[in-house]
């Protein structure tokens, strides 16, 4: 019998997108300048530079109706890309006319366009639920949103962009 790995349980990661101030407050509270914000009736685009050791720029689309946030990382030379698009599943809301809020519900999708979509961090979702950090209704909704996205992308050649285009959402990237 194998022993289950221990998962570090953390509260849901919360992030803010302040369109008026042109800032992005990450889950650790760091406020970062945003180069580009673009709002669509169905979502918010953000593009900003990064000081992360693995990537120098990131682009995200916050898609509240689908409970998804799609991100493309522009990796530094020599850093292996694990996916074309990284998709967080959670709660994404507009708090005011210029402020958006992201609450990550642990599950992530690694999109390898044209090949596959991998669901990851199931262990984190279950551990968060067991520790009372995410209720049963939120867990169920998270699983439903993740599987709907996987099904949608699989039906469109494992492409996030192709699936979203059928829903009237055209993603543009840098």
pLDDT digits over 66-114, tens only?
999 999 999 999 888 789 999 999 999 999 999 999 999 999 999 999 9
1 occurs within a structural domain: no
Q: N- to C-terminal Cα distance for the chain?
A: 48
| Residue 7 counted as domain residue | no
pLDDT at 36: 98
* Overall domain count for the chain: 1
Residue 169 lies in a domain: no
Cβ 138 vs Cβ 105: under 8 Å: yes
Amino acid 163: pLDDT? 98
Confirm whether 72 is domain-assigned.
Answer: yes
pLDDT digits (tens, 9 = 90+) for 121-170: 999 999 999 999 999 999 999 999 999 999 999 999 999 999 999 999 99
- pLDDT, tens digit, 9 for 90 and up, residues 29-57: 999 999 999 999 999 999 999 999 999 99
In a domain, 159, yes or no: yes
Q: Is the pLDDT of residue 2 over 80?
A: no
Domain with residue 65: its CATH number is: 2.40.380.10
pLDDT given at position 70: 98
Integer Cα distance of 149 and 73 in angstroms: 20
Residue 73 CA to residue 122 CA, distance in Å, equals 22
pLDDT of residue 5: 57
Three-state DSSP class for 120? strand
Residue 5 located in a structural domain:
no
Residue 118 forms part of a structural domain: yes
**Domain residues for 26?**
14-164
Q: Is 52 inside a domain boundary?
A: yes
CA proximity to 13, closest of 94, 85, 96, 105: 105
Residue 169 has a pLDDT of 98
């Amino acid at each position: 019998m194998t022993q289950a790995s221990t998962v570090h349980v953390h509260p849901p990661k919360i992030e803010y997108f302040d369109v008026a101030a042109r800032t992005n407050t990450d889950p650790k509270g760091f406020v970062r300048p945003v180069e580009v914000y673009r709002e669509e009736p169905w979502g918010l685009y953000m593009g900003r530079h990064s000081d992360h050791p693995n990537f120098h720029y990131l682009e995200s689309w916050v898609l509240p109706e689908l409970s998804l946030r799609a991100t493309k990382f522009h990796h530094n030379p020599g850093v292996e890309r694990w996916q074309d698009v990284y998709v967080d599943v959670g709660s994404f809301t507009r708090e005011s006319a210029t402020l958006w809020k992201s609450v990550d519900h642990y599950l992530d999708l690694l999109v390898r366009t044209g090949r596959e979509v991998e669901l990851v961090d199931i262990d984190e979702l279950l551990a968060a639920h067991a520790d009372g950090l995410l209720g049963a209704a939120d867990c169920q909704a998270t699983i439903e949103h993740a599987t709907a996205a996987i099904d949608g992308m699989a039906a469109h050649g494992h492409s996030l962009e192709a699936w979203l285009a059928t829903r009237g959402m055209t993603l543009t990237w840098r």
